[in-house]
């Protein structure tokens, strides 16, 4: 089209070993590593049929997938819905909840009607927090012995390996998307300029951005982890005089004053699983003056 149209595209593929993801667990930041594959396509178009008019559009597709066999403990769902295990709130000094076999908890409730020293179910520091207690110890009815999440059989094998020392049952992440990875992103911007008197030129520009839904965590738990798709609109008008290297711009960011949740961050059990959410800045109207010397 005589140079009026430019079209660019690219494709990419990444195979990650030990892609790092962070979360808060047990009052500390925990980094976990998962093998993952990321691939996508990007399209960019610029249409400028005249000196005055210009349209720019971009479209992106992204596909992320955590490798099969990867797993992680979700503090929002430590039992993974397994009815054979129960979530237990530990001694206040312990940083997080634990899970225990349902039979152990039921035996405890039958022998400790006052619920005193219930924290002993979670053990804590190898059971040290339960030392000195005058309460009847926690018994595992399956063995008749003192219960421990790290108990072993006569061959030295863990009796409850699936609970990972009481921390929880791992969620299977294979096939899940990586956090903050929307499948689709799109933006379009249009500007029109025209000359004014005394060497001044005015330009009006509008931009719109949209992205599809994504996930805040690797667990892709619906609805807790879902980040709904959102959009944003910006508008600006500026006046410039080239011979003076002077530019005066009036702009409005987030013109429609939308406040979508763009990300979230889950805190640990001892803070009651509170969640920090991040939203777009509110509508911002500003004036900018640039002068070169």
With H, G, I as helix, E, B as strand and everything else as coil, classify residue 164. helix
**Domain final position from 143, 168, 193:** 168
CA distances from 280 to 256, 277, 286, 287 (A): 11, 10, 17, 20
How many helices (H) and strands (E) would you count in the chain?
A: 1, 18
Instruction: Judge if 243 and 226 occupy the same domain.
Output: yes
pLDDT at res. 262: 96
Same domain? 65 vs 90: no
- What is the structure's pLDDT at 113? 73
65 and 83 together in one domain: no
85 with 99: CB under 8 angstroms?
yes
Residue at a domain's end among 134, 151, 168: 168
Residues 85, 164, single domain; the answer is yes
Domain that holds residue 39: 5-70+176-291
Task: With beta carbons less than 8 A apart as the criterion, state whether 227 and 262 touch.
Answer: yes
Q: Which residues of the chain have pLDDT under 70?
A: 92-94, 115-117, 124-136
Report the CATH number at residue 223: 2.40.170.20
The first and second tokens of residue 167, run together, are 């921390």
Q: How many domains does the chain have?
A: 2
Last residue of one domain, picked from the residues 149, 168, 187: 168
- Tell me: do 278 and 185 sit in the same domain: yes
What is the rounded CA–CA span in Å between residue 60 and residue 8?
A: 12
pLDDT, residue 1, reads 85
What's the pLDDT score for residue 116? 65
Q: What is the dihedral of CA 70, 73, 77, 82, to 10 degrees?
A: 70
Q: What is the number of alpha carbons within 13 Å of residue 161 lying toward its C-beta? A: 5
pLDDT of res. 25: 78
Clarify whether residues 66 and 107 are in a common domain.
no
Mark whether 89 and 40 lie in a shared domain. Answer: no
Residues 16 and 132 in one domain: no
């Amino acid at each position: 089209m005589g140079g009026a149209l430019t079209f660019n595209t690219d494709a990419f593929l990444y195979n990650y070993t030990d892609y790092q993801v962070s979360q808060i667990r047990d009052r500390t930041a925990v980094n976990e590593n998962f093998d993952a594959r990321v691939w996508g396509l990007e399209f960019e178009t610029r249409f400028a049929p005249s000196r005055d008019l210009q349209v720019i559009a971009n479209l992106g597709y992204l596909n992320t997938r955590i490798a099969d066999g990867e797993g992680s403990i979700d503090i929002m769902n430590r039992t993974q819905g397994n009815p054979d295990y129960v979530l237990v709130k530990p001694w206040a000094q312990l940083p997080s909840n634990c899970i225990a076999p349902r039979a152990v908890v039921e035996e405890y409730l039958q022998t400790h009607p006052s619920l005193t020293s219930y924290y002993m179910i979670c053990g804590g520091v190898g059971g040290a927090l339960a030392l000195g207690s005058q309460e009847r110890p926690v018994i595992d009815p399956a063995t008749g012995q003192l219960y421990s999440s790290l108990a072993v059989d006569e061959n030295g094998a863990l009796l409850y390996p699936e609970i990972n020392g009481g921390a929880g049952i791992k969620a299977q992440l294979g096939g899940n998307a990586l956090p903050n990875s929307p499948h689709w992103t799109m933006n379009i911007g249009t500007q029109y300029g025209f000359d004014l008197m005394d060497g001044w030129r005015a330009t009006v520009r509008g931009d719109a951005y949209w992205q599809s839904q994504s996930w805040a965590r690797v667990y892709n738990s619906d609805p807790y982890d879902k980040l709904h798709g959102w959009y944003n609109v910006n508008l600006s008008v500026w006046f410039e005089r080239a011979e003076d290297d002077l530019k005066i711009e009036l702009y409005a960011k987030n013109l429609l004053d939308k406040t979508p949740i763009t990300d979230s961050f889950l805190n640990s059990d001892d803070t009651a699983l509170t969640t920090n959410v991040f939203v777009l800045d509110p509508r911002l109207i500003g004036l900018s003056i640039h002068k070169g010397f």
